């Protein structure tokens, strides 16, 4: 293989059998359960990196069911998103993500810098309740429940929330273990088709685990919940802050 062949083919590892195909990545019937809660502001300050800023100690805990995604297949994901601003732009800082499929773990980390780890989340309907669960190995780390389709939510407001930008801290180490890439990446969902959205009574429990640290942002008060289903394309990212270049983009 010639040097130019390596350059042309290199977008994912392994070179000759990439872990995921090239995008774009379209998701059909992507289903969200998002519970918004109030947490300890001191705990939040420990995990939100500058230059991102937060006003209120609010966290959005998400379960996402993805039955049909180009290149990534069928999987479920969960994690915490913190409402923040960067230079006046409102968005969400993705703190952690746990999922059960290797291709989107590799693709998410390599391309955008999604903070993905392997675990076993589920999102399913049990009689009259929508139930989200996160197990890391055999240990329950998160449990979310919501009344199934109790009240129709505001379609336009929910659509805008799905389309809002989000921020990621992309870290790729050098061969000596020091950071070679350390950047804030901004991305957004594109071509969103919101099919349905609901709200209703909800509850959320987060439980301690040494390696699955969702409980580091404790639930002080559940504020709201949204259950939605949409088609969308995961937009490619852009670098908005470079930590290794003294803030230069």
User: Shortest CA distance to 157 belongs to which of 194, 187, 104?
Assistant: 194
User: Shortest CA distance to 209 belongs to which of 108, 102, 100, 120?
Assistant: 120
Catalytic one among 46, 116, 238, 248? 116
Spatial distance between the Cα atoms of 118 and 136, rounded to a whole number of angstroms: 8
| Bridge partners, residue 206, by sequence | 142
* Annotation says 170 is catalytic: no
Residues recognised as catalytic: 116
């Amino acid at each position: 293989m010639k040097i130019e062949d390596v350059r042309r083919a290199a977008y994912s590892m392994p070179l000759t059998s990439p872990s995921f195909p090239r995008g774009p990545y379209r998701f059909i019937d992507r289903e969200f359960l998002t519970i918004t809660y109030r947490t300890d502001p001191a705990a939040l300050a420990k995990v939100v990196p500058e230059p991102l800023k937060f006003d209120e100690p609010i966290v959005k805990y998400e379960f996402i069911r993805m039955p049909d995604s180009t290149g990534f297949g069928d999987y479920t994901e969960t994690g915490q998103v913190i409402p923040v601003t960067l230079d006046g732009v409102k968005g969400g800082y993705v703190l952690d993500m746990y999922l059960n499929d290797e291709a989107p773990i590799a693709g998410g980390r390599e391309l955008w810098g999604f903070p993905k780890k392997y675990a076993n989340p589920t999102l399913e309907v049990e009689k009259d309740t929508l139930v989200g669960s996160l197990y890391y190995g055999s240990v329950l780390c998160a449990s979310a429940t919501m009344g199934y389709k109790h009240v129709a939510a505001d379609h336009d407001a929910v659509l805008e929330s799905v389309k809002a930008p989000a921020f990621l801290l992309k870290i790729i180490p050098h061969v000596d273990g020091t950071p070679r890439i350390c950047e804030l990446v901004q991305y957004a969902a594109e071509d969103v088709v919101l099919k349905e959205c609901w709200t209703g009574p909800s509850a959320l429990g987060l439980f301690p685990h040494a390696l699955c640290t969702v409980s580091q942002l404790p639930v002080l008060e559940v504020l709201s919940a949204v259950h939605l289903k949409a088609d969308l394309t995961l937009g490619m990212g852009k670098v908005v802050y470079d930590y290794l270049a003294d803030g230069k983009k």
